[in-house]
Amino acid sequence: MTDKKVNIRNLTLSEIKHHLEEMGEKGFRAKQVYEWLWKKDATNFEEMSSLGKDLRQKLDEIFFIDHIQLDDQQISSDKTIKCAFSVGENKVVEGVLIPTTSRTTACISSQVGCSLSCTFCATGRLKLMRNLTAGEIVDQVVYLKNQAEGRYNTPLTNIVYMGMGEPLLNYKNVLRSVELITSEEGLGMSPKRITVSTAGIAKMIRKLGDDEVKFNLALSLHAANDKKRSHIMEINDSNNLAELADALRYFHQKTDSRVTFEYIIFKDFNDKIEDARELADFAKCVPCKINIIEYNPIDDSEFQQADKNKVDAFAAYIESKNLVVNVRRSRGKDIDAACGQLANKNKAIQKEMRVLK
């Protein structure tokens, strides 16, 4: 039973070495085990063919590997791939591969469900069930990387922690997963190709600064005045814009990294030039770029997609204030893989939502 075993992928290389030496094995075997776990993506100990049969059996008696399983996969007309992954206990999370002409991005989840209840987000309708382990996070990247290379003959260029869950509420495992993705013993990707997105938890943004992280930080802003932001994001009640601006300044001071502001634009809610002015004013708190994101409707949502001419006028105003702005058009909408839609139509997740009600 795995509940009596230790998850070996929660251990560092030195911790695995210590366990092996306690078992009477040579310490150098730890590196072999570690490479099987993180470079060769072993799903069980029997696959570790460079180890003796007795050692593989010992490992299997003491440890388990928390490997995720593909539950379902859909491919959009624009080549976006949405994957539902089983993470045990009948729980499912989703990851998305987004190929474009300039990059191929893996959008991955950090939690099963979410505790923040943002009104525009399908995942926000789920309760938080548990954090994902570092291994479960990395597995999503590995699977989507293999899809990019095998199906589209292109390398995975970017990773965004923008799937299900709030990454900074799973801080330890998220940072551990980044370490594994960027290390030579892992996938060897540059941290500058990784972006962690947060709904805005000021003290954890400061902690990122204290830890001097090398990856990029994105803030899901969506409104630049407290009344509107609190209407759509409860987290703003305890982490208001002034507190976030202060935390972002601290983060930038510690890391010298530019921040990305994500702004989903909703019809007749935050799409006016006055909203753009507030956004431009707030964005000046740190060096930044701004992504204006097309809204993707979910069932029974109070919001609608903003008119294209308003989106263009909004972006033009931001640009006129000497700020870097990009308009992100939706991808994967036909399979509910676009921003804010994860969990929207997945049958296993919908069943979980009914159970929780």
- The model's pTM is 0.90
Task: Sort strands 92-99 and 104-107 into parallel, antiparallel or unpaired.
Answer: antiparallel
pLDDT of 320-355, one tens digit each? 999 999 998 766 556 555 454 445 455 544 444 333
The answer on pLDDT for 16 being more than 50 is yes
pLDDT band at 90 (very low <50, low <70, confident <90, very high): confident
Please identify which of the residues 94, 136, 166, 294 carries the catalytic annotation: 94
Domain boundaries, given as residue ranges, for the chain: 2-64, 69-356
pLDDT of 248-301, one tens digit each? 999 999 999 999 999 999 999 999 999 999 999 999 999 999 999 988 776 666
pLDDT of 194-228, one tens digit each? 999 999 999 999 999 999 999 999 999 999 999 99
Given this model, what pLDDT does residue 23 score?
93
Lowest mean pLDDT among 1-10, 85-94, 288-297: 1-10
Rounded to the nearest integer, the mean pLDDT of the chain is: 90
Q: Which CATH superfamily is domain 69-356 in?
A: Aldolase class I (3.20.20.70)
Percent of the chain with pLDDT over 70: 89
Number of Cβ atoms within 10 Å of the Cβ of 1: 5
The answer on pLDDT for 69 being more than 70 is yes
Percent of the chain with pLDDT over 90: 80
Q: What CATH number was assigned to the domain covering residues 2-64?
A: 1.10.150.530
Given this model, what pLDDT does residue 324 score?
97
For this structure, is 107 an active site residue?
A: no
The answer on pLDDT for 105 being more than 70 is yes
pLDDT band at 56 (very low <50, low <70, confident <90, very high): very high
Please identify which of the residues 118, 121, 285, 339 carries the catalytic annotation: 339
69-356: same fold as 2-64? no
For this structure, is 339 an active site residue?
A: yes
